[in-house]
Amino acid sequence: MAEHPELGPWVRELLEAFEIPDAPLDTDGILALAGEAAHGVVRPAAPLTTYIAGYAAGLAAGHGMASEEECMAAAERLVRTVLRRRADRADPADTGEPGRPGGSGDAAGPAGSADSGR
């Protein structure tokens, strides 16, 4: 987050607005996941990926499937698994950009708790 110092105050403001000021949040990890999605699919998939992963993790945690941290870690793993599958299916010859699966070099797949059986 050192690259974007304005994110700290913004994140704190959002957490306060949602009345969850002490929520565990790995901003750098979330940004890394979004970046992987952006480069694996298309850029606009990055925010969708992180939203879906967080939503799925929240549902899993809310249903008592595991702790919040375990559910988020499982969601991140599932996103990376889906991105790897997508990259494995991609034919770089079809992208117009050698060595870049997905073509335009942008964002993500569905996420959820890998332990939820989805």
Domain boundaries, the chain: 23-90+100-116
**pLDDT(42) > 60:** yes
pLDDT at residue 3, rounded to an integer = 78
pLDDT attached to residue 102: 46
Amino acid at 1: M
CA distance 34 to 30: 6
Residue pair 111/52 in contact by the 8 Å Cβ criterion: yes
CA distance linking residue 68 with residue 8, whole number of Å? 21
- pLDDT, residue 64, reads 97
Segment 78-114, tens digit of pLDDT: 999 999 999 999 866 555 554 554 444 434 333 444 4
Q: What predicted TM-score, i.e. pTM, was given to this entire model?
A: 0.71
Provide the Cα torsion 78, 79, 82, 84; round to 10°.
-110
**Model confidence pLDDT, tens digit, residues 46-83:** 999 999 999 999 999 999 999 999 999 999 999 999 99
**Cα–Cα distance between 71 and 90 in angstroms, integer?**
29
Give whole-number Cα distances, 27 to 10, 31, 72, in Å: 11, 6, 13
